Each structure stands twice: as C-alpha cells, then as structure tokens.
A and B are shown apart, each in its own frame.
Chain A
Amino acid sequence: MSKLRVATTSLAGCFGCHTSLLDIDERLFDLLKLVEFDRTPLTDIKHCGPCDLGIVEGGVCNAENVAVLREFRRNCKVLVAIGACAVTGGLPAQRNHLDLGDCLSEVYLTEPGTRHGLIPNDPELPLPLDKVHPIGEVVKVDYFIPGCPPSADAIWKFLTDLIAGRTPTLGHGLIKYD
C-alpha cells in the first residue's frame, strides 16, 4: 500500500495543535508506517507539493498566510482545519474589534520601555490583514476539527479513519469546544 502523503502548516496559530498531534506519543511510530510527510514544521521541505492530506492550524492574519493557505488548497486533495483558530479565527481574532493601527502603535510606539519607537514596515514583513479570518472564508475546507487544541485522541481518530478510507467521525468525548 502506498503511503498517504501529508502536509501540515501553522498559520496564525500558536503551534498547540501541532503539539497535540505529537501528543499521540508512541502512536507516531505507527503513523509513520502509513504516512509520509511533505512540508511540515518537522521537515525541511519549504513548499507544499501534491499531497493527499493538508492539515492547517491557525487562521489567516497576514498576506503570507493567504499565500500558504492557497498553496495548500491547490496541492492537497483533502484539506482539514484543525483547532479553533483555523475553524473560527480563535484567540488571535480577538483583535478584530480593534483598529489594527491602534494595536501596532500601542505595541511599538507608546509602550513604556521602548526606545524611539517606530512601526516595523520593511517590505520583508508580510502585511497584516485588518482582521483575522478563519480559513474557511478563504478556501474550501473539507473537514473541521474543533478544540483548542483538539485532543491527540481526536486527531488520531480522524487520521486513522481517513487512512482506512472511512468518512472521519468524532464521537462523544472527542468533539470539544475549549
């Protein structure tokens, strides 16, 4: 059986969903018999190639997130939004009721202890969007796994269902909105 090719990325997330994926502990060794990794934070592949599954953590907060997300959608047969940030925008979206300019000036200009402040503006920095968006507002998403983060057991159930060719379902105790 050929291995399922999987890519993962963290956009405007905290990495907690990736941490939860690693919390499958020793089951990682079983997983590695069934999947191979494309671009993920665990490998040095910098761009996503054709994949069976793309796992996206985090919402979209800047122009670069949009580009990476679109690259994932183009390349991945199945795309899954993992965790509250990807599903709804999550905690970073708390800045949505604020003016981005105010946020930037608070942090870089007026905070005490900052020497001649300025707002970073180099072209190497991706432009922040004025709002943080869930990924489903930008691309079509095939599955959503809620939770902050979803538990390792939920992620494991999802992956094993998908690998076995079943429609993934999370039963009682695995769906959490925390």
Chain B
Amino acid sequence: MAFDLETAEHPENLRRVAIEPLSRVEGHGKVTLLLDEANHVRQARLHIVEFRGFEKFVQGRPYWEIPVMVQRLCGICPVSHHLAACKALDQVVGARLTPSAEKLRRLMHYGQILQSHALHFFHLASPDLLFGFDSDVARRNIVGLVAEYPDLARQGVLLRKYGQEVIRLTAGKRVHGTGSVPGGVNKNLSRAEREALLKDAYQVIAWSRDAVHLVQRLFEQNLALYEEFGSFRAHGLSLIRADGAMDLYHGGLRARTLDGQTLFDHVDYDHYWDHIFEEVKPWSYMKFPYLRELGPETGWYRVGPLTRVNQCDFIPTPLADKERQAFLAHDGGRPAAATLGTHWARMIEMLHSAETIKDLLHDDDVSGDDLVTQGERQERGVGIIEAPRGTLIHHYRVDENDQVVRANLIVSTTHNNQAMNEAIRAVARKYLDGHELTEGLLNHIEVAIRAFDPCLSCATHAMGKMPLKVELVDAGGRVIGRITRSGDGSCA
C-alpha cells in the first residue's frame, strides 16, 4: 500500500534530512525527510528503531513471571503492561476477580494514567505550547518552564508525584512494582494509606481541572493553528464500558470510522484478531496495524486520548464529563480530528483519573482481604487495557507445565504508527515544503509526534549500504560481538 509522501520515486537524487534522536518523547526514534533541490518534501517517515524481541524471550518462562517481566518494556507506563499481562493471565488461571482485587487494580491503573499524562504534558510537551514551536532551544524544556512558569511546573511535578504515590501504595514500588498477580492482587490499602492519599486528592482534582482549562485557553487563543496543525480524520479504536461510558481498565472494543459511523461495538476482545491485522514495512521495526473490516489501504486507525474522549458516550465522573462536553462542542458534533486537541483530551482524562482515584479511595473494598481467586485452568488468555497512550493488547498461550509457549503484544504506540506518519506528513506539506529547514521548523515535526505521546526506544543512525557487518570491539581491541546483514535482510 502506498501513502502520499511515504516513498519517493527517485530517492537517489534527493537530499536526506534526519531528526534524530526525537527528543522530549519517551525513548528514541527518528524522522527522515527526503527533499529535492527546491526543498520540496518528497518523502517523510517516522522510523521506530527498537527491536527487543520480548515475544520470543518470554517463551519458556513460567507464566507467573510475566507480569513482572513485561513491565520492563516501558518504565513510564509499567503498570499498563503489568495489568494487561495480569488480565490475560486471569483467564489462564480461570479467575473472576473479587471486587477488592478489581478496585485495587483500577486504583493502580488510574494512578498510572494520572502520572503519565502529567509527565507528558508538563515535563515534555507544554514548552512547545507555552513558548512557541520554534522558540529558543535552550528554553524550550522543563528547565525553561520552571524558570518562567514556576507555579505550573510545581503543579506538574506534584501531580505526577501523586500518581506515582498511588502506584507505590498499590504496586509496592513506583516503577516496576509487583502488586498485581494472575487472579488478583497481593496487597490491599490500609486505612492510614487511604487517608494519606485522600488528604491531597481534592487539590489534585483542582489542579487537573486547571490544566484542562489551560489547554482549552491555548486552543481557543490560537484556534486556526490548533485545529489545523498536523490534523487528519481517522478511524478510532478503544475499549468501552457496556453502558457506553469511558472505562480505561476494561470493556469491549468499539471502532468508529472517520465520519463517526460505528464499525463494531462492545466486541468481546477475546478474538481481537478477527478485527486487527498487522502489516510490516521494511523501514520500521514497528508494525502497521489495520482494521480487517476495512483492509490495509484504508483500515489504519488512531487510539489514545483523542479517540477515547470522542468515542465514549459519557465520562462517568462529573467534572471530567463537563469538560468532555465543552471539548466536543468545538467540533459541532463531528468527531474531533485536531492532532493538538489530543493534549486537551489528555488533560480531561487526567481529571477523570483524579476523580476516579478519589472515589476508589472512599470505597471500603480497597481495604478488603479477599484478594486472589482461581478457577478452571485455560490454555490461553487475552488481556486488553487502555494504557495512557491507547489500547494495549497482551496475548499468551501457556502449556501444561505452566510455561509460556507463545506471546503476542500490540502496544499502544504501534496502533498509532500510521496516524503519526500521517501527522508528520501533514506538517511537512504545510510548514516545511519549499523552505530552508531550520531547527525551529524541524521542531514542528516533533510537536506533531509529541501530541501522540509515543513510546519509542533506542536512538538510531544510518549505517551505510547493505550488506554490511558490524563488529563490537571492547577497549582492548577484542571483538565481543558482531552481526551481519545480507541484502535480503536476513541476519547472521
């Protein structure tokens, strides 16, 4: 399948410009642009250069290790992987969670959404919006924010801290905790822990609401720019609760087309592969998923805050739902398509998380003692959760020796692969095409990518022509590793 600006016809005559590593995103990726003599953009690609092979090396491990192993995929949203794996393994151990277990997991999860959204907005993305996309590099970061907007920076740091504390108290530690296990959780919250968290909950809700209003103000003050920048219409995919409410922990699958028509709804995610297929392209380690109903040409879609706020019928906490209505009013009933609107939607979700955390802390079930259950052992399990960045799928097959024999993971950022490529191409067409490229202009590309809060990894660098061979030599000149790649891409 060929998308506009994906592949130049005669790349050999074009000039290559790379943005690498992408900064103020999690992990490293890069963008390459190919330009002709008149600086017209002929090709624009976001490359994901990470290859870790988790699916392969979890094979042979006992299934109960998986929730702890897989969080090492991502240190910003470890809880999402921890819980998606546990949800899949709940099925393997045949468990139906007790109310206490489910509520404690929800608490952990909403703590995760809160801290991740705060980190993304305050520490990473907000300097673009507050200082300008092509403002001074030295100031366009958290340090500049602390200097010029100290109160805002302080709120960001404390919001994130609060989410991390919710995680610590439910998962055991802030990063890579162990609180959730197949069939339930291994820890409840004491009264004292609940009271300590409740003490700050209302302040956290108030600051979250301020953050929603801040983005709304920025949006309204620069309406033309914010509506258009890197924007495109896309199909959407998310989990949805049975009554149509936003639910980031559990639900059925809902997909809507770019004009808002329902493609499928409340689908049991156990057979997600009936709806989602993936394509591989030679220039990225990240696959390109698409909706099978629509096929690879037109079936790509968007996940994450913008889609979730658009697609739910309501948000089940009052303050966030009010903000959702204000958000939707902007597009007069059409699904919102503005890439930068994702920041607004993300802050609405942060507010929803803060409200949900407060409600759960008031619920005595989170201090209950009935934490783990088991039932009839199954051979496979699928767990899907709405992670901060979007729909996250874990799927395992476990043999009679309790060893994992097969694993498939489709992470949130992967679902957004084509969408992010569309966003950078829209920006390249409108802002870069025909211009001498400056640092500030190149940052426009990153501003579009940052709106998705992608989770990338490992910096990259062009290594010349294939076939080639790389040797890793230690300080003493000893060869300690090598890899060769032949022209067909096979590695030896």
B458 contact set on A, CB distance < 8 A: 10-12, 58, 61-62, 64-65, 126
Kindly provide the distance from the CB of B391 to the nearest chain A CB, expressed in whole angstroms: 15
Q: Is the CB of B69 within 8 A of A91?
A: yes
Within 8 A of A (CB), among B55-77: 55-57, 69, 71-76
Name the residue of chain B whose CB is nearest to the CB of A103. B53
**Max chain A Cβ within 10 angstroms of own Cβ: one of B461, B480, B485:** B461
A15 contact set on B, CB distance < 8 A: 26-27, 74-76, 457
Q: Is the CB of B26 within 8 A of A112?
A: no
Kindly provide the distance from the CB of A126 to the nearest chain B CB, expressed in whole angstroms: 4
Segment at the A interface, from B102-110, B136-144, B305-313: B136-144
Within 8 A of B (CB), among A56-92: 58, 60-68, 90-92
**Max chain A Cβ within 10 angstroms of own Cβ: one of B20, B52, B142:** B52
B296 contact set on A, CB distance < 8 A: 115
Give the residue of B24, B27, B480 whose beta carbon is less than 8 angstroms from that of A42.
B24
| B333: Cβ under 8 A from any A Cβ | no
| B30: Cβ under 8 A from any A Cβ | yes
Q: Is the CB of B72 within 8 A of A14?
A: yes
Kindly provide the distance from the CB of A106 to the nearest chain B CB, expressed in whole angstroms: 5
A13 contact set on B, CB distance < 8 A: 75, 457
Bound CA–CA A121/B55 (angstroms): 19
User: A29-B146, A113-B278, A124-B47 known; A103 and B56 CB under 8 Å?
Assistant: yes
Within 8 A of A (CB), among B322-364: none
User: A15-B27, A121-B466, A122-B283 known; A95 and B146 CB under 8 Å?
Assistant: no
| B260: Cβ under 8 A from any A Cβ | no
Give the number of chain B interface residues (Cβ < 8 Å).
Answer: 89
Q: Is the CB of B55 within 8 A of A123?
A: no
| A19: Cβ under 8 A from any B Cβ | yes
A170 contact set on B, CB distance < 8 A: none
Give the number of chain A interface residues (Cβ < 8 Å).
Answer: 82
B461 contact set on A, CB distance < 8 A: 63-64, 67, 126
Segment at the A interface, from B82-90, B211-219, B422-430, B470-478: B470-478
Kindly provide the distance from the CB of B136 to the nearest chain A CB, expressed in whole angstroms: 10
User: A15-B76, A61-B458, A123-B463 known; A98 and B157 CB under 8 Å?
Assistant: no
Q: Is the CB of A108 within 8 A of B280?
A: yes
B24 contact set on A, CB distance < 8 A: 41-44
| A117: Cβ under 8 A from any B Cβ | yes
A45 contact set on B, CB distance < 8 A: 23, 137
Q: Is the CB of A124 within 8 A of B283?
A: yes
Give the residue of B53, B460, B491 whose beta carbon is less than 8 angstroms from that of A107.
B53
A115 contact set on B, CB distance < 8 A: 277-280, 296
| A143: Cβ under 8 A from any B Cβ | no
Contact mask for chain B residues 454-466; partner A; CB cutoff 8 A; 1 contact, 0 none = 0001111111111
Q: Is the CB of B56 within 8 A of A98?
A: yes
Q: Is the CB of B282 within 8 A of A118?
A: yes
Q: Is the CB of A133 within 8 A of B32?
A: no
Binding site for A on B (CB under 8 A): 20-21, 23-28, 30, 32, 45, 47, 49, 51-53, 55-57, 69, 71-76, 78, 119, 123-124, 137, 140-143, 146, 153-154, 157-158, 160-161, 164, 173-176, 273, 276-285, 287, 296, 408, 439, 443, 446, 457-466, 468, 470, 472, 474-475, 480-483, 485, 488-492
Enumerate 7 A-B pairs (CB-CB under 8 Å) in ascending A order. A14-B72, A15-B27, A98-B53, A115-B296, A124-B45, A130-B481, A148-B176
Q: Other CB < 8 Å A-B pairs besides A113-B278, A124-B47, 10 of them?
A: A22-B123, A29-B146, A29-B154, A41-B26, A46-B20, A62-B460, A103-B53, A121-B485, A124-B45, A130-B481
